[in-house]
A and B are shown apart, each in its own frame.
Chain A
């Protein structure tokens, strides 16, 4: 059984479109994350949710909006896509929240977004 899954795996779209990426984890974890990995393989955190509550919101354009309908899901919606949004987006999850000892993060397989 896949622990952290993302859909779709690949997404090719035109500039200006709106798209969503979905993430689900079946590990029972409390915290979920979105990362962006650019062409130089640099992984940067975008958002983190703990029990459906936003706890980390890095400097990300407000065209990116995360949504957590429940603690097993964290979706990412992107409006008005731009060329610079092309990257691989990884979802991750971990057990524990702010007050607990840090635990490792488990990553999903990634979604490769290409904006033409």
Chain B
């Protein structure tokens, strides 16, 4: 069975500080990976997707970047946080070869920027 793990569970950071969020998928080979952002009480906005190691496509620019250093790992980061970065960050995966089809979400990371 596939498992998706996100870390940390929650973060409280200062404006201007750096950030790194992680996501690991176990039990699935070469999945498509996605990052989403969700404002409190809001909808989900896709930020990035990746179909293979080392390759990341941006969907929406929010002064964030993403990288895929390993087949099962997806990293979201920024060097300088803004207040507007606060929210719920979700990693998702879909089976290889079917971009966006049947996406499965992780438990999320709650980020508060003060």
- Are A and B co-members of a single complex? no
